[in-house]
Chains A and B, each alone.
Chain A
Amino acid sequence: MKTEHTPFHPRWYRPRVPVFWWLRRRSYLLFVLRELSSVFVAWFVVFLLLLVNAVAQGPEDYRRFLDWSATPGMLLLNVVALCFILLHAVTWLFTLSPHAMVVRLRGRRLPPAAIGAGNLVAWMLASALAAFLILG
């Protein structure tokens, strides 16, 4: 690409944006924190696979996994992760999808609040099912 100044080409106007542009406003910061929640989604997959592996190896390894998850560093990491995951879940289920999803019922668009309420029910059912399966 030719970018140098010539008599016939005006110079491009490109204001420089600072790297930490997202610290300037609360809404920008919230956007970046929401994007960063994905890192903790990935961390949870790793954590889950370590648990699966420990259970597959036998009772001894499962015990060791439980002890390891009770160490201060792991507790701190998982508390931080849970905060980010909750930010993701709340914004995804109640802010994003009610406005992004267009559900039509008898030719009329369902209001966003109804989709949010449906998501809340789905969230509670999924949590109850998972807890029931694990705790038996």
Chain B
Amino acid sequence: MEPFLWLLFSAGGVLSALLIPVLLFLFGLAFPLGWVSPPDHAHLSAVLGHPVTRVALFGFCVLALFHWAHRFRYALYDGLQLKHLERAINLFCYGGALAGSAVAGYLLLAVL
């Protein structure tokens, strides 16, 4: 199980490093502060609604969430020395990633 989880962690780490900086810069800073004018709803809706975007974003969300789960789990283990709470931490981290993936799948594949 551990190698599989590590693989998800690693793939999520690569995708997060490649994609989050530009997306967070645009939607978190550049659009709100007016440095760049945000895309209108019709355009963004068309881009997000494309099947390739939806599947790609779903894959990104799942891998990024498992990246968080794996890394945060070890941050709690080692950083705060909570080894004795192993079960609760695993449940919180991987359960959270699973729940988040389900929400992402619902929003990206069913609602959008």
Contact = CB atoms under 8 A, between A and B. Distances in A.
Bound pair: A and B? yes
Contacts of B25: 82
B41 A62 contact: yes
B100 to A, nearest CB: 6
A86 B32 CA distance: 19
Contact of A123 (B17, B27, B29, B65): B17
Interface string B36-52: 10110101110110000
A42 B64 contact: yes
Interface in B41-88: 41, 43-45, 47-48, 53, 57, 61, 64-65, 67-68, 70-72, 74-75, 79-81
A78 B18 CA distance: 17
At the interface, is chain A mostly helix, strand, loop or mixed? helix
29 contacts: A32-B75, A35-B74, A35-B75, A35-B79, A39-B72, A41-B20, A41-B67, A41-B68, A42-B96, A44-B24, A45-B64, A45-B100, A47-B28, A52-B48, A56-B107, A62-B44, A63-B41, A66-B38, A69-B27, A69-B31, A74-B32, A82-B21, A82-B29, A89-B17, A92-B16, A122-B18, A123-B21, A134-B23, A136-B39
Interface string A23-58: 000000000100111110110111111011101101
Contacts of B29: 75, 78-79, 82
Interface size class of B (residues with CB under 8 A): 35 or more
A69 B13 contact: no
A135 B68 CA distance: 29
Interface residues of A, number: 53
Given A35-B72, A39-B68, A56-B112, A134 B26 contact: yes
B33 interface: yes
B44 A134 contact: yes
Contact of B27 (A19, A47, A63, A97): A47
B91 interface: no
A56 B111 contact: yes
